[in-house]
Amino acid sequence: MTSAHAEPLPASTAWYVPLARAIPAVALAIAITFSADHSARLGLVTLASFTLVAGTVILTSSLLSPHRGIVRTLSIAQGAVTLATAIAAFVATSGGQAYFVFLLTAFAAITGFIELYLGLRSRGRDASSRDWVFVGSLTALLALIVLLVPPAFSQPYTGPDGVDRELTASIVVVGLLGAYWAILGVYLVIAALSLKWSNKDYVAATAAVQQKED
């Protein structure tokens, strides 16, 4: 995501980290899209699955990162919160709509603002900053939109097949989560490829500078 005339920037995030987060996001977005069940239980199971993979990837890559400082510290915190969400969702998949909304909004608000803060403070210094800003903003926005859905929302409607159905808060929130994962997954695939190319450009530019100095 670096312009053609801009100086390549180092990236504190390996390109495979966003790719590893994208895979479960895309898979779960597809699963929700083709599932007739949009219950809170499905929401908790899919949330647990995503956060388990994403949290493991973020936490492991942060702990193994050679970089030190606030970026590594906050990334470790983000990974820990994400894994804690996975545990909380797995142990209470029958927790109901209120529990699902609480867990989802808490996860999205905390990790979203962490990632947004990392992106804003790293602008112009880290090739990952633009991706952090986008993903952080998208995740924080998810928390806000989910909170705006009335818990008792219920809207009867007639489907295309003429069958009477009911649109509930659970269906809306799970649908929003699926849409979030679809957008997130596509963006992170692009981000991973961009980081891979950016890292190659940075290594090449650094090598050229060293050759000139020698």
Q: Is residue 28 part of a domain?
A: yes
Q: Is residue 6 part of a domain?
A: no
Which tens digit of pLDDT belongs to each residue from 105-153? 999 999 999 999 999 998 878 888 899 999 999 999 999 999 999 987 7
Query: Which amino acid does the sequence have at 158?
Result: T
**9 domain-assigned:** no
Q: What is the DSSP string of 47-112?
A: HHHHHHHHHHHHHHHHHH-S--SHHHHHHHHHHHHHHHHHHHHHTTTTSHHHHHHHHHHHHHHHHH
pLDDT bucket at 20, cuts 50 / 70 / 90: very high
Residue pair 105/147 in contact (Cβ under 8 Å)? The answer is: yes
Whole-number Å distance between alpha carbons of 108 and 95: 18
CATH of the domain at 183: 1.25.40
Range with the poorest average pLDDT among 4-13, 40-49, 95-104, 165-174: 4-13
Total domains in the fold of the chain? 1
Residue 196 lies in a domain: yes
Give domain status of residue 33, yes or no.
Answer: yes
In the block, residue with structure tokens 């899209």:
33
d(CA 97, CA 154): 13
- Cβ distance 42 to 174 under 8 Å? yes
> How do residues 23-76 score in pLDDT, each as one tens digit?
999 999 999 999 888 899 999 999 999 999 999 999 999 998 877 788 899 999
Q: Is residue 111 domain-resident?
A: yes
Average pLDDT, the chain: 85
Q: Which domain holds residue 26?
A: 16-154+165-213
Residue 37 lies in a domain: yes
Residue 88 belongs to some domain of the structure: yes
